[in-house]
Amino acid sequence: MLELSALEPECFYWARRRETGGAWEIVQISTVFGTCRDYWTVARTGSDVHQMVDDYEFLVRVALPEAGIIPLSQAAE
């Protein structure tokens, strides 16, 4: 498990809710409420719901692909 101090803003992680011990899901560390670590929240993929970082346990950071990604700004061209 990752320590909360190892999290980075705007990155994606495999995580699950602590209280329920439910299924692992991909979440993003969001800075929508502020860039200071105290204001970070967890944004669940496919939802606009934000929850407290302390409510989750984090397994591993999701690595982004290294090549072959077309930026959205160029995708429609």
Cα gap 73→51, rounded to integer Å: 30
List, as one string, the DSSP characters of 8-65: -TT-EEEEEETTT----EEEEEE-TT-SSGGG-EEEETT---EEEGGGEEEEEEPPPP
Could you report the per-residue pLDDT of 6-47, keeping only the tens digit for each?
A: 999 999 999 999 988 789 999 999 999 999 999 999 998 888
pTM: 0.79
Q: Which domains does the chain have, with CATH numbers?
A: 4-61 (2.30.30)
Q: Band of the pLDDT at 77, cuts 50, 70, 90?
A: low
Could you report the per-residue pLDDT of 42-68, keeping only the tens digit for each?
A: 998 888 889 999 999 999 999 877 666
Of the candidates 54, 33, 30, 60, the one whose C-alpha atom is nearest the C-alpha of residue 42 is 30
